[in-house]
Structure 1
Amino acid sequence: MRCPDPAGRPLTVADVLALPVLAGGGPRVVTGVDRVDRPVRWVHITELTDPASFLKGGELVLTTGMPLPDDAAGVRRYVGELAAVGAAALVIELVRRYHRPPDALVDACRAHGLPLVTLAKDVNFLEVTQVVHALILGNQADAMRRTQRVHEAFTALTLRGAGPEDVVRAAAEMSGRTVVLENLVHRALVCEPSGGTVEAALTGWERRSRATPPADHTEVLGPGGWLVTPVEYQGERWGRVAMLPGPPGTTAAPSFGPEDVTVLERTAMALTIARLTRSAPWERTAHRNALRDLVEQRHRSPADARARVAALGLPTDRTRFVAVLVDVPAREDTARAEARLSEELDATGHQALVGLLAPTRLGVLLALRPSRPWRQAVERLSRVALAPAPGTTVSVGSPAPDLADVARSFREAARVAEATGPGEPLPPDRSFHERSDIGLRRLLFALRDDTRIQDYAQRRLGPLLDHDARHGTDLVTTLRGYLEAAGNKTVTARLGGLSRETVYQRLRTIERLLGRDLDSGDQRTELHVALQVLDVLRGR
């Protein structure tokens, strides 16, 4: 027995004709072969000359042919009334009155576009109505249950404060279709592909979206056949959510059903509530998520990454990308810094993604033409970040020639940030730090939590530190002065306010305690590095 598909589409004329209860009658579609996909709302048995007056539309009309008028004009009137009321099809049994369909009936049905089906054998019409009505009612009950589940799912999302990504993902899972949330300037903020890729869903998004006209309610629009609905509140429109037909990239896709409309409308409602209850604008959330995916390389492919970034308005061809990290002193400074950076980039016309990557860290991905000097753009951005929050640190990675190389640029910027201690002085010519600024001390600062570095300092200087602690001496200071004087004992004595003999005596004690030869350049270098580690660990 053929039944409605799992998506819950209505029972059609073709479905009914395929049922065993009718198939046994040898049904043949005489007219309207291309219209047997019409939905069947009910089955109506009639032997009246004017059955249309008892119909509401969508009925499959069953008749033995006994009431058909004898004259052609009467047949045309009979068929015309059925067509006008919206009957799904006319099924006539060729057993009692007719053994072939009358020409007038065939001509009238063809003229009105009404499917005409003949039955060559006797069929129990009552059994047909029982079977079909059971299927229709069962289908309606299933549809009601599915609709109820949709409402319950979105209600649960709303109650737990779900964000736009969760809402759009739920819509895609329920419908089995790609769902996209866009803003008023046709930027795709959230995309949840179903059965395809982000690349297929978002490539050329702005062009395709602008070709799809705006709608005041849920409807199918545009050359792509998108099901769209606005997202708005009290007359203020924020964007729209679109459901794409079938797997992205296909030309022939199943039509949208009532459930799809329900899912999309509940999606728009949940998005409206999320917008009203969450402080972060959609665009900012979209930037944050796109940045995190780029930094953590969570895209399925480079093509998906390019499509998503392009759909957010950033160029991807002939573009150089620069990763910038802005570390603010306190968590409460992030929102203000994020807003100021976004405003500055908009004001200067720079195309970029700005978003929160960690509680006190903002990420900025600048998209610049190769001919545009990147340091100048970063300098201006850095000054904007430093102004409202003293103690902010701006770190930059080297430019990435392609979007696929952006993660590397952010890793470099992170290493620069790790090597930059609180209050680290800025270079004289700029207000940000980059990889070339990392010297020995900053490298050791970045590695300060590594136990191997700590062990190195302890093995090289531990005995000396222990001696000073037990005896109240300050041999470490003498060693530091000697190393900073490049092994010149006279300079060491003068800078330390000591006699040469005292310096000689202390140096011999140091050599004995450490088991080192201070005349060896290599060993002096090792001790100098160990002192640098000690300073870093003590926060000097």
Structure 2
Amino acid sequence: MTDISGQTVLTVNDLLALEVLRSAQVGVAAGGHRLANRVEWVHVFETPAVTGMLRGGEFLLTTGIALAGMTAAELDRLVASVARAGAAGIGLEPTHAPVEPLAQACRDHELPLLVFGRPVRFVDITHVVHERLVAGELATLRRAVSLQAQLREAAREGLGPAGLVASLGDVLEAQVLLERSDRTPIATSPEDGLDVAFLEALDRHRQRLPTALHSRPVQPGARLHVLPRRADELDLLAVDEAAFLLAVALAAQPPGEEVPSADRARLLQRLAEGRAGPVARHVVGVSCPGVAGTARPGRDRRPGGRPSCSGGDPRRGRSARDRP
């Protein structure tokens, strides 16, 4: 199995290393520069109608029965259609057809052609390859379950946004930044800071340039930035899961921590002007005990017209020097 862009996949080159192929004295007759083609299935074909059954990624096995009576032009059209369908390559046991006409067509259309020097049972090849493919899918599934379980465990432990960010960084081996909409950091992973590669990727993201950084909105009023090591499909699903869990964690925080400082200042101003609703008064009242949750215009203010946030009397909502 080969690691490509963080994903473990099977390629034509990997097939060459299988014992069942090596024992058949396999060789590369065409398309050697395309051996990194991804193999998603193995299919035996002995009819020219094979192209209608392909969906991409198939490695095709044939003894050449369907090729024996074809002209060079017909063979070229067949290989062209197979290549357009996204086949990974062809394996030929030249029992019924010569190698060179097929090899020339494969060279023309840049399709790998493997030729077996000895008779080989196609059922043995399909069995081994499909076993490898299923094992790879099972490993992917197990990793997906593990990623989700680790993130949800961090959420259940009530570690808050910082704990979830640390957990996401650990499970993805990634650098992570959770920030407010005004770009004030809430939490990072690793805790000792983000490196130059992350900061450059973040800068490119903010300039709307291509970057490996993945960013997700997190309500209320935050954004998650992740620079993963692998960046495969499972990593992106984990980022989505983390964004959801972080939204829940932020919403569950005490109101004083939930409202950004800039928003709190605006709420204080609205309170002073008598324009804030009861919910806003409650939020500011909790985070700033010197401000009464039932303030009215013209009352509970300092001489300068601003509410007090220090030395307040929580029972009466006024500062000590405002009391008679």
Would you say same fold, with TM above 0.5?
Answer: yes
* Distance 1:154-1:60 versus aligned 2 partners, 3 A rule: same
- One-letter amino acid matched to 2:287: A
Offset of residue 153 of structure 1: 2.2
- One-letter amino acid matched to 2:249: A
Secondary structure, in 3 states, of the residue corresponding to 2:43? strand
Offset of residue 134 of structure 1: 0.8
What's the CA shift string for 1:129-177, capped at 9, x where partnerless? Answer: 1111111111112211221222222222333333222222222222223
1:39 aligns with 2:22: no
**Structure with more of its chain in helix, by fraction:** 1
Question: Contact (CA 8 Å) 1:231, 1:269: kept in 2 or not?
Answer: no
What's the CA shift string for 1:12-32, capped at 9, x where partnerless? Answer: 222222222223333326216
1:230 aligns with 2:216: yes
Q: How does 1:329-478 map to 2 (within 5 A)?
A: 335-336=287-288, 387-390=308-311
Question: Contact (CA 8 Å) 2:29, 2:103: kept in 1 or not?
Answer: no
Partner of 1:174: 171
Offset of residue 229 of structure 1: 4.3
* Distance 1:108-1:174 versus aligned 2 partners, 3 A rule: same
1:63 aligns with 2:15: no
* Distance 1:257-1:230 versus aligned 2 partners, 3 A rule: same
Offset of residue 42 of structure 1: 1.2
Question: Contact (CA 8 Å) 2:41, 2:130: kept in 1 or not?
Answer: yes
Question: Contact (CA 8 Å) 1:109, 1:115: kept in 2 or not?
Answer: no
Secondary structure, in 3 states, of the residue corresponding to 1:198? coil
Question: Contact (CA 8 Å) 1:72, 1:104: kept in 2 or not?
Answer: no
Partner of 2:320: none
* CA radius of gyration, larger in: 1
Determine the C-alpha separation between the residues in 2 that align with 1:282 and 1:87. 55
Determine the C-alpha separation between the residues in 2 that align with 1:185 and 1:47. 64
> Of the candidates 223, 248, 259, which is equivalent to residue 273 of structure 1?
248
1:241 aligns with 2:224: yes
Partner of 2:297: none
Determine the C-alpha separation between the residues in 1 that align with 2:118 and 2:50. 23
* Distance 1:230-1:99 versus aligned 2 partners, 3 A rule: same
Offset of residue 230 of structure 1: 2.1
Offset of residue 105 of structure 1: 1.4
Q: How does 1:95-106 map to 2 (within 5 A)?
A: 96-100=96-100, 102=102, 104-106=104-106
Determine the C-alpha separation between the residues in 2 that align with 1:336 and 1:98. 87
Determine the C-alpha separation between the residues in 2 that align with 1:338 and 1:101. 90
Partner of 1:199: 195
Determine the C-alpha separation between the residues in 1 that align with 2:127 and 2:200. 51
Partner of 1:86: 86
Partner of 2:139: 142
- One-letter amino acid matched to 1:82: V
* Distance 1:79-1:337 versus aligned 2 partners, 3 A rule: farther
Secondary structure, in 3 states, of the residue corresponding to 2:48? coil
Secondary structure, in 3 states, of the residue corresponding to 2:55? coil
Question: Contact (CA 8 Å) 2:72, 2:101: kept in 1 or not?
Answer: no
- One-letter amino acid matched to 1:200: V
Secondary structure, in 3 states, of the residue corresponding to 2:8? coil
Offset of residue 204 of structure 1: 4.8
Offset of residue 183 of structure 1: 4.1
Q: Which runs of 5+ in 2 are unaligned?
A: 262-283, 292-303, 314-324
* Distance 1:157-1:70 versus aligned 2 partners, 3 A rule: same
Determine the C-alpha separation between the residues in 1 that align with 2:154 and 2:196. 28
Secondary structure, in 3 states, of the residue corresponding to 1:9? strand
Partner of 1:9: 8
Determine the C-alpha separation between the residues in 1 that align with 2:113 and 2:190. 42
Secondary structure, in 3 states, of the residue corresponding to 1:27? strand
Percent identity among equivalent residues?
Answer: 24
The TM-score normalised by the length of structure 2 is: 0.69
What's the CA shift string for 1:69-117, capped at 9, x where partnerless? Answer: 622332233123323332222222345522435354134422xxx3333
* Distance 1:15-1:102 versus aligned 2 partners, 3 A rule: closer
Determine the C-alpha separation between the residues in 2 that align with 1:73 and 1:39. 28
Question: Contact (CA 8 Å) 1:43, 1:62: kept in 2 or not?
Answer: yes
